[in-house]
Amino acid sequence: MLEEARLNDVKCLVHCVAGISRSAALCAAYLIRYEAMTSDEAVQHVRVRRKGARPNAGFLTQLAEWHEECQWTDAESASKTEIRSIL
pLDDT band (50, 70, 90) for residue 82 = very low
Q: How far apart are CA 54 and CA 38, in angstroms?
A: 16
Is 27 designated active site?
no
CA 68 to chain centre: 11
Q: Is the pTM of this model over 0.85?
A: no
Q: Decide which of 3.60.15.10, 1.20.140.90, 3.40.50.300, 3.90.190.10 is the CATH code for 2-86.
A: 3.90.190.10
Asked if the model's pLDDT at residue 77 lies above 90, the reply is: no
Q: Which of 12, 16, 27, 70 is catalytic?
A: 16
Q: Provide, rounded to the nearest whole percent, the portion of the chain with pLDDT above 70.
A: 83
Burial of 38 (0-12, 13-18, 19+ CB in 10 A): middle
The rounded mean pLDDT for the chain is 83
Asked if the model's pLDDT at residue 86 lies above 70, the reply is: no
- 25 phi/psi in degrees, rounded to 5: -65, -40
